[in-house]
Structure 1
Amino acid sequence: MNSSSLRPLILLPVLLAGCAVVSEDECRSGLWYERGLQDGARGRSQALVYQIAQKCQEYGERVDSDAWLRGHEEGVEQYCTPENGYYQGRRGNSYEGVCAGPTADLFMAEYQRGLAAYQIELEYRRLVDRYESTERDLHSVRVALAEAKDKDQIHRLKHRRRALVRELRRLDLALSRFTGFGFGLMY
C-alpha cells in the first residue's frame, strides 16, 4: 500500500474533528498533561490541542498547551510501537501520522500489514454475506417454481434459478481463495 492510498485514512480524523473534542467539565478539570498523555496514546495528532483550546475558550477556560504537549509526547511513545501499529491496522483504525523517527517506519510497516489483513477480512465477510443472500434468493425461487402454474412465469423462474446457481458457483470460487488466509469455508 503506498502513501497516497493511506491519505484518506490519515485525513478521516481531521474531517471528523467537528465532533465534541472536549467537554466543559474536562476544560475545567485542568488535567492537561493527563489529557495529552491519553490523546497521544490514542494516536491523535498535535493539532487536537488547538481544537481543544478553541472549545475550552467557549467555556471561558484556558488550556495549558505546554502540559498537554508534554503528555502527548509521552503518549505517542506508547502508541508508536510495531505491535500497536498492527493492532490499529487490524481493526481498520485511521492513522493521524503521529509517529516520527525510527519507530515510525516500524509502526507503519506493521500498520499496513494489519490494515491489509483487515481489508482481506472485510472482503471475505462481504463475499460470505453475498453468498448467503444468494442462497436465500435461490431458495425463494425454488419455492416459487414449485408453486408456479403459468408457463411464462416458470420460464422466468428457471432462468433466474440458473443465474443464481452460476452466481453461487462464482462466489464459491471467490471464497475458496480465502482458505490460505486462515478463513474456513463457513458456508
Structure 2
Amino acid sequence: MELHRSKPPGTALHLPLQSNNRRLACCCIAQFCAAKPDEIRGLMLRRIFMLTVFVQLTACSSISKDECLQDDWYSLGVNDGKAGELSSKFREYQKDCADHGVMPDFKTYQQGHSQGLVFFCDFPHGEAWGRAGKDYNTACTGKLEPAFRQGFQQGQRWYKAKKVVDEIATAIADLQNRNLTLREDIYVINQRIAVEQNASARAALLNQADRLRYQMEGYNQEIGRLQIRLAQAEANFAPLNR
C-alpha cells in the first residue's frame, strides 16, 4: 500500500487544478498554511485591502468590460432612456470603455436613448419622479416634456403634502414619548415621596413632581395644537393621495 508523506512545514501545496481562480485560491491557502501567525495577519490585511480596492473600482465603473465588448449601444441607450438617464451618461461609457480599447458609438446609443425616453417621458413616470422627492428630470424635452412635467408637478404636490403630514405626526409622537418619560419619572418620585421621612426632602420631591406635571401639561397643549394642524394637513393630502 502506497503511503503519502506529509510535506514539511513551509512547503506549498501542489494540487491538479484547472481553473485560474482555483489555483489562486490554493496558492492563498498554501501561503496561509506555511506562514507564521504574524505573517498570516499581514497576509489577511493585504488581501482585505486588495479586495476593498477591487470593490471600489468596480463600483465606480459605469459599464463592465463585457458590456463594452458586446458593442450593443442601441440597447444600452434604450435602457438608459427608460430609466430617465441623461444622454450625457454616454461620456462615462467612453471613458470606461477606453480602458478596454473600445470606442462606443454615440449615434447608435442616442437612437436607442431617444426610443427609451418615449417610454419614460409620460405622466405616470413624471408623477412617480415627483412623489420620490427628486429634482426635475431634464431628460424629457420637446414634445415629450409636457406630459412628464405635468405628472412631475402632480407628484411633487403629493410629496410636499405628505411631507407636512409626516412631519406633524413625527412631532406629535415625539411629544407623546416625552410625556411617557415624564410620567415614568413622576411615578418614581411618588415612590420616593411615600417613604421619605425628612420633611424638607419630601417637599423638594413634591416640587420636582409638580414641575414635571407642569411640563407634561405644556406638552399636552402643544400636542392638541399639532393634532388640529395634522387634521388639516391630512385633509389637504387626501385628494392628492389617489
Same fold (TM over 0.5): yes
Query: Counterpart in 2 of 1:109?
Result: 150
- Please report how far the alpha carbon of residue 169 of structure 1 lies from its aligned counterpart in structure 2 after TM superposition: 1.4
Assess, with a 3 A threshold, how the Cα gap between structure 1 residues 151 and 104 changes in structure 2: closer, same or farther. same
Assess, with a 3 A threshold, how the Cα gap between structure 1 residues 128 and 25 changes in structure 2: closer, same or farther. farther
Q: Is the 8 A contact 2:164 2:233 kept in 1?
A: no
Query: Counterpart in 2 of 1:172?
Result: 227
Choose between structure 1 and 2 for higher RCO, CA contacts under 8 A separated by at least 6 residues. 1
Query: Counterpart in 1 of 2:210?
Result: 155
Matches of 1:106 and 1:82, distance apart in 2? 5
Q: Aligned pair 1:125/2:166, yes or no?
A: yes
Highest Rg: 1 or 2? Answer: 2
| Aligned positions of 1:78-117 closer than 5 A | 78-117=119-158
Assess, with a 3 A threshold, how the Cα gap between structure 1 residues 82 and 153 changes in structure 2: closer, same or farther. same
Aligned length: 166
The aligned amino acid for 1:154 is A
Matches of 1:76 and 1:19, distance apart in 2? 25
Q: Percent identity among equivalent residues? A: 23
Assess, with a 3 A threshold, how the Cα gap between structure 1 residues 95 and 60 changes in structure 2: closer, same or farther. farther
For structure 2, the residue ranges without an aligned partner over 5 or more in a row are 1-58, 194-204
Q: Aligned pair 1:26/2:67, yes or no?
A: yes
Matches of 1:68 and 1:182, distance apart in 2? 43
The aligned amino acid for 1:62 is M
Query: Counterpart in 1 of 2:113?
Result: 72
Q: What do residues 102-149 of structure 1 show as CA deviations (whole Å, max 9, x unaligned)?
A: 331222122111111012112212222222222121111112112214
Assess, with a 3 A threshold, how the Cα gap between structure 1 residues 102 and 37 changes in structure 2: closer, same or farther. same
- Please report how far the alpha carbon of residue 38 of structure 1 lies from its aligned counterpart in structure 2 after TM superposition: 0.7
Q: What do residues 19-45 of structure 1 show as CA deviations (whole Å, max 9, x unaligned)?
A: 542233322332211110011111111
Query: Counterpart in 2 of 1:40?
Result: 81
- Please report how far the alpha carbon of residue 47 of structure 1 lies from its aligned counterpart in structure 2 after TM superposition: 0.9
Matches of 1:119 and 1:20, distance apart in 2? 35
Runs of 4+ displaced beyond 4 Å: none
Matches of 1:135 and 1:43, distance apart in 2? 42
For structure 1, the residue ranges without an aligned partner over 5 or more in a row are 1-17
Matches of 1:170 and 1:147, distance apart in 2? 29
Matches of 2:61 and 2:218, distance apart in 1? 49
Matches of 2:135 and 2:65, distance apart in 1? 27
Q: Is the 8 A contact 1:43 1:95 kept in 2?
A: no
Assess, with a 3 A threshold, how the Cα gap between structure 1 residues 28 and 170 changes in structure 2: closer, same or farther. farther
Match among 180, 184, 187 for residue 146 of structure 1: 187
Assess, with a 3 A threshold, how the Cα gap between structure 1 residues 23 and 179 changes in structure 2: closer, same or farther. same
Q: Is the 8 A contact 2:165 2:234 kept in 1?
A: no
Assess, with a 3 A threshold, how the Cα gap between structure 1 residues 52 and 90 changes in structure 2: closer, same or farther. same
